[in-house]
Structure 1
Amino acid sequence: MCKLCGFCYFAPLCQLIQHNMNMPVTVQRLAHTFLLRRLALKTRYVRYSFDSTAENTNIVDNTEHITSADGSLEYSVSKADFKWVERLFPPSRIPFPPQHESYPTPSGWVAPSSTVPDKPYFIRRNKYHVFTIFEEKKPKNSQRWLTYVKHIEGDIKALEKELIEALRPYEKFDPATRVNEATQTIWVKGMHKDIIERYLYNQGF
């Protein structure tokens, strides 16, 4: 237990504050609390602040024993318990969905083809393993719906023509479209998310 503040096990940090800063004990406790909070935000599981002039560093049983150059500061850093902290970390990436016997799944999701489709364009899926297709009103208070298809690489004009052909059986007239090569986006007038998504799934993207 720390003799300076009386409530933590960070005695070396308190000693460091007391040794390097000529200040009252009350102010030392405030500085100690502030540094502990900053240390907890910046690091995941580091118990003590390392001294840049530390010498005589030994590692025994996954525990690091450090003594400062002037001998005024001694402390140990244990890394053996870090495995219990790692279990609490969220996954670094979204795992790929498991293989299913048949597609589409009950949710309507289809896995990409094992081979790249022979097309002059390519559509990337987002981090959730689905296409970035959404419907939106433009402007917000109107009844004009637009469908956006994003993350298109390659010949975006070829995809535009194929989408018009795919939507033609569902519309009286050819749907109005617009291509933005800079943002890799195609917007289609109307609410066609399900049709476009099903078409891209069938193409193997």
Structure 2
Amino acid sequence: MAAPMKKFVPGLSFIKQSVILQNLRKFAVSLPARYCSSQNENPTEQQHEYEESTEEFKYVEKLLNNKMIPTPPQHAEYPTPSGWYPQTEEASKLPYFVHRNKFHNMPVYLLKKGPLERTKILKVDGDIQLFCEDLKDYLSMKYPSKIHYTHINEINNKVLVRGDYVGEVVEFLKEKGF
């Protein structure tokens, strides 16, 4: 009994991998020997010299994507016309911290799965239990007749709240200075 073939491409079946291998072998046989081995190189062939130029690279850099999102500019007054405002210094004094996403927005999202709606808060660092308690207190002040169910995922630093409370959670985070 032959040993099973090791997968060289994850996600491909054994049959697809064997067909790919057969095609590669056919292609390798059809190549002339001068392309297959570096030992057959003619030592008398001239090596072509080339010159590296960095002067023209400034034109190429304009076409490439930026690796980092730039820091937002300072404005005369907040919130800006779009409703954005920066984090305050008071937020860093709390035992928990909610980081902004890479576009400097709040990491609060609404998840819908059938009739279920859940509010998802990401990037919660520090005392996530205290954050959840403070959030529950805030929501119970706004909606005293409702019970607010939450789920804490400490490994992924996220909190789920049952229901559509995106606006209320954003208000809570604004009050805390995040």
> TM-score, length-normalised on structure 2?
0.68
Q: Any conservation in 2 of the 1:146–1:188 contact (CA below 8 Å)?
A: yes
Helix, strand or coil: the match of 1:159? helix
Deviations 1:82-132 (A, max 9, x none): 222122222121111111222222222210124653211111111111121
Which of 39, 58, 61 aligns to 1:83? It is 58
Which residue of structure 2 lines up, in the alignment, with residue 105 of structure 1?
Answer: 80
Separation in 1, partners of 2:148, 2:85: 26
Letter in 1 for 2:95: P
2:114 counterpart of 1:141: yes
Structure 2: runs of 5 or more not aligned = 1-32, 36-42
CA distance 1:141–1:174, shift in 2 (3 Å): closer
Q: Any conservation in 2 of the 1:121–1:155 contact (CA below 8 Å)?
A: yes
Separation in 2, partners of 1:161, 1:110: 25
Separation in 2, partners of 1:22, 1:174: 76
2:139 counterpart of 1:167: yes
Deviation at 1:163, TM superposition (A): 0.6
> TM-score, length-normalised on structure 1?
0.60
Q: Any conservation in 2 of the 1:167–1:174 contact (CA below 8 Å)?
A: no
Separation in 2, partners of 1:134, 1:188: 11
2:131 counterpart of 1:131: no
Which residue of structure 2 lines up, in the alignment, with residue 39 of structure 1?
Answer: none
Separation in 2, partners of 1:70, 1:202: 76
2:46 counterpart of 1:72: yes
2:166 counterpart of 1:197: no
Helix, strand or coil: the match of 1:83? helix
**Structure (1/2) with the larger strand percentage:** 1
CA distance 1:175–1:115, shift in 2 (3 Å): closer
Separation in 2, partners of 1:114, 1:71: 68
User: Once superposed, which parts of structure 1, at least 4 consecutive aligned residues long, lie more than 4 Å away?
Assistant: none
CA distance 1:86–1:147, shift in 2 (3 Å): same
CA distance 1:157–1:128, shift in 2 (3 Å): same
Which residue of structure 2 lines up, in the alignment, with residue 187 of structure 1?
Answer: 160
Which residue of structure 1 lines up, in the alignment, with residue 127 of structure 2?
Answer: 155
Which residue of structure 1 lines up, in the alignment, with residue 95 of structure 2?
Answer: 120
- Greater relative contact order: 1 or 2 (C-alpha under 8 angstroms, separation 6 or more)? 2
Deviation at 1:188, TM superposition (A): 0.9
Letter in 2 for 1:74: H
